[in-house]
Amino acid sequence: MTVSAASRLEMKQISIAFPGVKALTDVDFHTAAGRVHALIGANGAGKSTLMKVLAGAYGHYTGHILMDGKEARIRSPKEAKQHGIQVVYQEVDTALIANLTVGENIMLEKTVHDMTGRHWVRWKGLHQSAQAILERMNVKVSTRKLIQDLTLAEKQMVLIARSVAMKCRFLVLDEPTAPLSKTETEQLFRLVRLLKSDGVGIIFISHRLPELFEICDDITIMRDGRLVVRDEIRKLDHQQVVEHMLGAKLDGQFPCRKREIGEICFEARGIHDSGKVNDVDLHIRRGEIVGLAGLVGAGKTELCRALFGASRASTGDMYLNGRKLRIKSPHQAVRSGIALVPEERRREGIFVDEAVSVNLTAASLSRFAKWGSWLSSAAEKKAAVEMIANLGIKTPNEQAKVKNLSGGNQQKVAIGKWLLVDADVYIFDEPTKGVDVGAKRDIYDLVAELAARGKCILYASSEISEMTGITDRVYVMYDGRMIKELESDKTNEEEILLYSTGGL
């Protein structure tokens, strides 16, 4: 497919409000065919809201959207797609039908659109059309394969292929590389460049600045629901972008810590989980932040879940303060003093449709019980309000729904509920995934504060810079095994990456 080089998208004076908050104020945004345009900002800056306006998800905005200089009515997703606007969100599973094939998912919208006056589907033709799109994209996935059998990266490619099938003019990619390995990211970038050469305009939302400078032509930076900067990306450097995002200089990415490390507090021996984790041993001392490094698929998440009792197939022994633990469920883990902040916060870490206060107190309800069974709403509210202030959670009030918060603030809620529990062992699985540089620093400060209070911290991340920046010691995983233990102040990112890729 080839899009007219004249294609131009403009959003003028876009404003929108929700109960208790003005999300966007007179925002201007424009891009053109054949350009890759970075849209960034701190969590809560309004970038996702702006794109949901463009996608027709929020129809109550004020302002104007123009396509090729002409007013475009976009008040619903259907109207957005009619104008050639497609969005691939970070949560790809919600946009796909797991028990249908790749071909059926790619051609789904086009098939429904073309069914007017017809009562049958040409299945052979459907798969041939889907295969032609995949071949053009250089994606080697069978159109007969079920979605539920695909990797996350392959599912993302299917969604992009669906956009191509609908003759997409402008494609919004929301944090597309967050769950991808380095190889998968390179494949995505090849596809972005191919779509760009075909004249598709790409709007690329990401918090990974090096990627933006590699793939993007232009950049728009937002802050507090307003436009801050719009320019060619080559005219800015990383530091300038960060300062525009935050409205201030960021003094040091990682906190300075006074390390006071005690005796071994937590120990795991021979942890095994159905081939995903193979005979892993580890230990953590009081006040120590232990990194768990490895690329996507190394087994970090599976190990974290096994330690938290979230995997029924896991085996092995765990000890806390010298006492052997019996953990077969997350409930038992919490009762034993272990907390997990999971990687998939929206699916596993928070109740998205509940209030902030409900989420913050969910793991520690016994603290707010009267006479053993009646909850004290006043006590819950007091604890939630204090935690919101302590963590700097940006929310209109404690009753706001968590789903309306930004990603970084949702992550703070996911962490905050465990701070009220006051556990002995805190397991963080990719805690800064999909959050901006300012929220990252807030999370680093929280982790450092927990360590200063004598807690045991296991910090799993595929961001290798975090291993040398925040941890005291690093375990490196590869193919489900622990292959190396390193002292953080005696190693570097290159050595950690070497072991993460299986090098010895």
Q: Taking a C-beta distance cutoff of 8 angstroms, is the pair 190, 138 a contact? A: yes
Q: Strand 289-293 relative to strand 456-461: parallel, antiparallel, unpaired?
A: parallel
Could you tell me which of 95, 119, 125, 99 has the C-alpha nearest to residue 109? 95
> What phi and psi values does residue 207 have, to the nearest 5 degrees?
-100, 0
Encode 405-426: b = buried (16+ Cβ within 10 Å), e = exposed.
bbbbbbbbbbbbbbbbbebbbb
What per-residue confidence (pLDDT) applies to 371?
Answer: 66
Sheet (strand 170-174) strand order:
85-88, 170-174, 201-205, 36-41, 218-223, 226-232
Class of residue 356 by CB neighbours under 10 A (exposed 0-12, middle 13-18, buried 19+): buried
Rounded Cα gap, residues 188 and 204, in angstroms = 12
What per-residue confidence (pLDDT) applies to 3?
Answer: 46
Q: For 451-473, what is the HEC assignment? A: HHCCCEEEEEECCHHHHHHHCCE
Q: Helix axis angle, 182-197 relative to 123-137, nearest 10°?
A: 100
Q: 401 pairs with which residues across the strands? A: 355
CA angle 223, 224, 226 (to 5 degrees): 70
pTM of the model: 0.66
Q: Taking a C-beta distance cutoff of 8 angstroms, is the pair 471, 292 a contact? A: no
What per-residue confidence (pLDDT) applies to 375?
Answer: 79
Q: Residue 44, Cα to own-chain centre: how many angstroms?
A: 14
List the domains of the chain with CATH numbers. 1-84+168-248 (3.40.50.300), 97-166 (no CATH), 264-500 (3.40.50.300)
What per-residue confidence (pLDDT) applies to 251?
Answer: 62
Name residues whose C-beta falls within 8 Å of residue 357's C-beta, 6 or more positions apart in sequence. 380, 381, 384, 385, 398, 399
Q: How far apart are the first and last CA of the chain?
A: 46
pLDDT tens by residue, the chain, 504 residues: 444 445 899 999 999 998 767 889 999 999 999 999 999 987 678 888 999 999 999 999 999 999 999 999 999 999 999 999 999 887 787 889 999 999 999 998 877 666 555 567 788 889 999 999 999 888 889 999 999 998 888 898 999 999 988 889 999 998 888 777 778 888 899 999 999 999 999 999 987 888 899 999 999 999 889 999 999 999 998 888 888 887 766 566 788 888 889 999 999 999 999 878 999 999 999 999 999 998 777 889 999 999 999 988 789 999 999 999 989 899 999 999 999 998 877 778 888 889 999 999 888 888 887 766 777 888 888 989 998 988 888 888 898 888 888 777 888 898 888 888 889 999 999 888 877 777 788 889 889 999 999 999 999 998 888 999 999 999 999 989 999 999 999 999 889 988 887 766
Q: Which spans in 25-107 are helix H?
A: 47-54, 77-82, 102-106
Rounded Cα gap, residues 53 and 80, in angstroms = 9
In the DSSP assignment, the letter for residue 347 is I
Name residues whose C-beta falls within 8 Å of residue 444's C-beta, 6 or more positions apart in sequence. 253, 254, 255, 432, 469, 470
